[in-house]
Chains A and B, each alone.
Chain A
Amino acid sequence: MMNKRFTRILATSVAAAALVGTLGACGKGSASATSEGSNEITMWTHNAGNPDELKAVQSIVDSYNKSPDAKAQIKVQAFPQDSYNDSVVSAAASGKLPCLVDIDGPNVPNWAWAKYLAPLKLDVDLSKNLPSTVAKWDGETYAVGTYDVSLAMLSRKSDLAAAGVRIATVEKPWTKDEFQEALTKLKALGKWEHPLDMGTGGTGEWLPYAYSPFLQSFGGDLINRDGFQTADGSLNGEEAVQWAQWFRGLADEGFMATKSGKDPVQDFVNNKSAIVYTGSWAADTAMTAVKDDLAIMPTVDLGNGPKVGGGSWQWGVTSGCANSEAAMDYLSYSLKPENIAAMAKATATIPATDEAAAMLPEFAEGGASRIFMDFSRGYAVMRPETPAYPFIATEYGKAVQDILAGADAKTVLDKTVKAIDANIKSNGGYKD
């Protein structure tokens, strides 16, 4: 009896699994088979998991669709961020890319090289936009963003005062020695197990985004930017080794954990750390919780000035788009100051233009978040504008994790350089 029932349950579940599987396959199929009518173009975005951003995108699209000058009706399709790149790549493989896509800034050269993207021809002057929101490769502009993000050190003024540490400013950021001293003093207060939270538990793009600016401040880089053909000397030179030893040293001296918590900002708000190194997107949360006591400080000057990564999500037009004129027209429309302001507001990010910033009290002259614009203008280094970037990013991310886990810096960096150089070579230098 039991046996029969078991067989029946097994058969039913196998059938159900098969059914779910086929439905899933169908769902995927129809998602990429976008039927684009003569006067309708499709736009893909990565923010299905971010309702605020999606709503802002949708309302800009709606207002464009309703405007009398609309050259086409835009249809928004949102994807979860985790599977967004895979969706675009598979759609490209089957020739079913939509007209408009959004792209994470550092991936633009890769997709431009693969001929997914067409050079932009907009009737907007981009020269006044934050340089890091305009993605160029090979002399052409391939994508443009309405916002950027930046990196900062957040702390409590009261804690810094108690430890006798000066608040770092844009004019006078902390130097390497000052940072060391600040951490020593904060640690001596005995309030925290680790006074510094660098977000070392992060994964994926966070690793190159957050830690390559330190490497660059030491004088190293992810790749030799002269021709983008080798990482030798940049990523395994003396400066790079110094960076690795400094970074690992922060953990060895007990200043930071080699693997921080899942949500460093929340840990900071809960007073589990004195200084948190995080993105501008977290400022709102911290401001709400810490209020006037919050100190937003630039990152550390490790020799060549403070650096932050430049480039966030941006918009591009695909090369196969049948109605690219309308797609370009929509992009120009979305770059109107009020639209840029709406996007920045919804995502708590830095607006791409001063004109838009003036519409947002927190980013206007004297606003609480204005300082992030200064960081972006003053410190932003683009992640290397080469089609090799996705590969470099994964290799560098692994190197960071290995260094934190205690591997020998020079060995790890040499291995990383070897892998990157081999990849560039096997792709013919990414020249074509």
Chain B
Amino acid sequence: MTTTRLPAVPPNPAPSSPAPSSRRASAPAAPGKPRRRRHLREQLSGWAMIAPATVLLLAFVFLPAILGFGLAFTNARLVSPRPIEFVGTDNFVRMFTDPTFWRSLLNVSYFALVVVPVQSGLALVMALLINKKFRGVNFFRTLYFLPVVTSIVVVSLLWLFMYRKDGLINEFLSNVSFGLIQGPDWLNDPATAMPAIIALSIWQAAGFHMIIWLAGLQSISGELYEAAQLDGASPWHQFRYVTWPGLRHTRTLILVTITIQALGLFDQVNVMTQGGPLDSTTTIIYEAVRSGFKQQETSYASAISLVFFVLVLLISAVQRYLTREKD
């Protein structure tokens, strides 16, 4: 972590103070009537601006979610001529007595516990590396971001081939170790399937969080670094006492988004392992999709989704509480 000086970047307002309020506060106080009218117009245009997003959210997120909560207590089917009946907590009883459900919960926890620290750490290192002025920085920024732009389904398919017993990764391991290491059949071994998916997921998504870290890094005033340098702070101290505290809000954002993303693991599993071998890579969302679409059990899938929703809500709330402003 060498000098992170950015003379070209002007000091920006901290991310916590939203631009509109500061502008309004600094605007000269206009007398009575025109001010109110302007205020009204501002409000109207504000509502108009959030309207499209609100309508879309209501129609495609909230409404289906509410319907899903209701369906979880029925015996609704995707394809069925039978009327829907209320069955109480049957679906939940079935879920909590199903070992596959507990296994999926365990797999997701394992995935999240590894991915959250490793992916955010790697993304931060990458962001620090490219947050400098040197020739070709844009090349590296593009390079690191490239996996994010590629569809996860395509990435999963490519890695599927690389992970094969005679695939690229094992050939590489064998060649660099002069034939000493004979890699496993990564995705077909219960012990290595999940680590393999974790590695691929981190590789694919780290670039995205790198961009968020980068945005956070660039919002730290260069003057702070200059002052720190005048005080004789070492690069490590600059990172510890200037960069790290300056990334406070970015950190919370990244923690929460990576956690939610990790808990929702699905695409990689669906393309690469279909939950196997021996349930070692199945996840909550995969189970929900499998029972909802392939097995036509809409109500059971809704119950799984409801549990998932509560889980994500709880974890996010705890994280929010732990990272709150402590004053």
Query: Which A residues have a C-beta under 8 Å from some C-beta of B?
Result: 1-3, 6, 18, 21-22, 25, 86, 89, 92, 110-111, 113-116, 203, 257-259, 261-262, 390-391, 394-395, 398, 401-402, 404-407, 422-423, 426-428, 432
Contacts and interface: CB of A to CB of B under 8 A. Distances in A.
Task: List the 10 closest A-B pairs by CB distance, nearest first.
Answer: A405-B277, A259-B188, A114-B79, A394-B294, A405-B278, A401-B276, A2-B218, A391-B295, A115-B81, A394-B295
A382 to B, nearest CB: 20
B79 A110 contact: yes
21 contacts: A2-B218, A3-B12, A3-B215, A3-B219, A18-B56, A89-B78, A111-B79, A113-B80, A114-B81, A115-B81, A116-B79, A258-B185, A259-B185, A259-B188, A390-B296, A391-B295, A394-B290, A402-B276, A405-B190, A405-B278, A423-B295
Contacts of A258: 185, 188
Nearest to A391: B295
Contact of A432 (B82, B164, B185): B82
Given A1-B10, A402-B276, A427-B77, 17 more contacts: A1-B8, A3-B9, A18-B53, A25-B60, A89-B78, A89-B79, A110-B79, A257-B165, A258-B188, A259-B187, A390-B295, A391-B295, A401-B274, A401-B276, A402-B277, A422-B94, A423-B297
B52 interface: yes
A426 B291 CA distance: 14
Nearest to A405: B277
Contacts, number: 81
B72 to A, nearest CB: 15
A203 B277 contact: no
A304 B171 CA distance: 44
Contacts of A114: 79-81
Contacts of B82: 427-428, 432
Nearest to A88: B79
Contacts of A115: 81
A392 to B, nearest CB: 10
Nearest to A412: B278
A316 to B, nearest CB: 14
A18 B9 contact: no
A405 B185 CA distance: 12
Contacts of A92: 79
Interface of B is mostly: loop
Contacts of A257: 165
B75 A2 contact: no
B244 interface: no
Contacts of A22: 56
A203 B94 CA distance: 26
Contact of B9 (A1, A21, A262, A395): A1
Interface of B: 8-10, 12, 52-53, 56, 60, 75, 77-82, 94, 161, 164-165, 185, 187-188, 190, 211, 214-215, 218-219, 274-279, 290, 293-297
B274 A203 contact: yes
B151 to A, nearest CB: 13
Contacts of B10: 1
B213 to A, nearest CB: 12
Given A2-B9, A114-B80, A390 B294 contact: yes
Contacts of B187: 259
A113 B211 CA distance: 52
Contacts of B211: 6
Contacts of A262: 161
A227 to B, nearest CB: 18
Contacts of A391: 295-297
Contacts of B79: 89, 92, 110-111, 114, 116, 390
Contacts of B52: 18
A427 B80 contact: yes
A262 B272 CA distance: 12
A86 B293 contact: yes
Contacts of A407: 278
A426 B290 CA distance: 18
**Max chain A Cβ within 10 angstroms of own Cβ: one of B75, B79, B161, B277:** B79
A114 B82 CA distance: 8
Nearest to B164: A261
Contacts of A18: 52-53, 56
A86 B298 CA distance: 13
A88 B94 CA distance: 29
Nearest to B90: A426
Contacts of A116: 79
A405 B188 contact: yes
Contacts of A402: 276-279
